[in-house]
Amino acid sequence: MENSPLHFQLESLRFLEATDFDILEGLFTREETAGSGKLLAIEGGAADKVMVLSKGWALRYKSLPDGRRQILNFLLPGDIVGFFALLFKTVEYGIETLTPVTMNSFSPEKLLDAFNNAPRLAVALSWLAGQDERQLDEQIVRVGRRSATERMAHLFVELHYRLLQAGIPGDEAQHFPMKQTILADTLGMSHVHANRSFRTLVREGLVTLRDGEILLLDPDSLAQVAGFDAGYLEQESLPKATESALPH
Amino acid sequence: MENSPLHFQLESLRFLEATDFDILEGLFTREETAGSGKLLAIEGGAADKVMVLSKGWALRYKSLPDGRRQILNFLLPGDIVGFFALLFKTVEYGIETLTPVTMNSFSPEKLLDAFNNAPRLAVALSWLAGQDERQLDEQIVRVGRRSATERMAHLFVELHYRLLQAGIPGDEAQHFPMKQTILADTLGMSHVHANRSFRTLVREGLVTLRDGEILLLDPDSLAQVAGFDAGYLEQESLPKATESALPH
DNA sequence: CGCGTGGTTGAGGGGATTCAATTGAGGTGG
DNA sequence: CCACCTCAATTGAATCCCCTCAACCACGCG
């Protein structure tokens, strides 16, 4: 647990104390696992818990009645899943595992308790939710205003960056366990065009396909191609005004 | 204040008590106004407060170095602006008013205070943030997986629906004070194509241009064209499990 | 009354889509 | 051990949606 991606991320915030981490431990129920290709949430269903992914990949998506599907974001180790879901009667999105995953969950009671009794922890969890929202913003820009190749390169760099931030070792953080259809549904294009865009990146030696996984060969050049600006992923300590407004 | 759009929305939640509303009042500093076309936040700047819009329209956007711009969402009366911004050193988006606006703001201290001392209010504000995130999700679907005309119709219906939810009278909720360039930057298309899509909707009698504003003529048919499903905007009371976990 | 902003439309080109066909890697059952 | 099936990747061809360039108009304003 001490080495979990969540811990790793929260420590980079540098303002949680040992007691906060203890409380965090206490929040979790037992660890759960799920195989790959499993549904962790279905569109229109109800949420009864909040989860934290500690291992594996999943994705969050919405689908249209005619079968079109849009992937909203990727869920990586250390990510909170369904932070707001407890506040709504139905979940509007689906969640599907891309690999086998392990996760912890906490119940509504425990979570609300923590918000009342551990303000610093509450801020830390909100901060994670805020990170999430920043990533959604960037996904909108990506899909709305970037060309197909840019989109793909940009997504690759983001995923790589996020994996590193979760404490995943560098080489593992360059392997992405996704099919090209997933890419297409993420980037808002057809799978045929996803393949063509992918191939151009391959031709330029930036990326390749190995053992059914996508492998980044040159993250720096990819960032170049993508016009990637990591600002929205930066994990800094809290601004002073907020920091000083916190109890303790 | 009692008739403000924020109040109107929170009351539809049906679980805040009179004392919560009192505390909410206490959070606000004086009311502020700004003219149209003014910047309320600049990309890369710092946030020092959270705002609630009580009148007027604004928009939140990100821009790329080469001048491309993507509008992330519209800010309407009753919306919270920058809920998470206090947790980050820099704001990654810009905010620009579309019309003259009036708003209230609260400081970090007051907001954090409220989260510690008024759990039900904290949940209500989080719920608003959750609403926001649902809208971002839908914006991703809109831009990623809908055709140009669908996109536009869908946006129109969402805005109409949200205005009604904010307590704006029906006829006023059909007037949108935006130029077609704004539409283009929201929907991820060129302004020329935004115009062509718009003209298509005009030809079908669903919408028109009046006094420099967009005027909805037939929201129901627009919803039809858009394949609009209001699920993601539904304002229901909290799920039971969460409700019962709340103090009091 | 000249200028800027916003809307509108035509023409031409290019990026992306759909339809289709082929290949290869696994997995399964006989 | 191989025929057979499925899933994923790949590529060609035709088409179409959307983009850029460009021109023109309407309107409001200093």
User: pLDDT by residue (tens digit) across B122-138?
Assistant: 899 999 999 999 999 99
CB contact under 8 A, A93 and B69: no
- Tokens representing A119 are 């303000």
Q: What is the mean pLDDT of residues A173-193?
A: 97
Residue B182's CATH number:
2.60.120.10
pTM, to two decimals: 0.95
Name the percent of chain A in helix, strand, coil, to the closest 5.
Answer: 50, 20, 35
Alpha carbons A88 and B130: distance in angstroms, whole number: 9
> What's the mean pLDDT when you consider all of chain B?
92
User: How many domains, chain A?
Assistant: 1
- pLDDT for B3: 63
Burial of B202 (0-12, 13-18, 19+ CB in 10 A): middle
CB contact under 8 A, B138 and A241: no
CB contact under 8 A, A239 and B70: no
- pLDDT for A75: 98
Alpha carbons B166 and B164: distance in angstroms, whole number: 5
* Out of A119, A145, A241, closest to residue B64 by CB: A145
- pLDDT for A29: 78
Q: Per mean pLDDT, which range of A109-123, A178-192, B127-141 is the poorest?
A: A109-123
What angle, rounded to 10 degrees, do the helices at B148-165 and B119-145 form? 160
- pLDDT for A199: 97
**Bases of chain C within 7 A of a CB of the protein:** 6-11, 15-20, 26
What range defines the domain where residue B21 resides?
5-245
Q: What percent of chain B has pLDDT over 90?
A: 72
Calculate how close chain B gets to A247, using CA atoms only, in Å: 9
Q: Residue B2: pLDDT above 80? A: no
CA A77 to chain centre: 7
CA of B192 to C1' of D14 (A): 26
The pLDDT-based confidence of A241 (bands split at 50, 70, 90) is confident
CA of A209 to C1' of D3 (A): 29
- pLDDT for A201: 97
Give the helix ranges, DSSP H, for chain A: 5-13, 18-27, 108-117, 119-145, 148-165, 180-187, 191-203, 219-226, 240-245
* Out of B88, B140, B227, closest to residue A136 by CB: B140
Q: What angle do CA A105, A15, B127 make, to 5 degrees?
A: 50
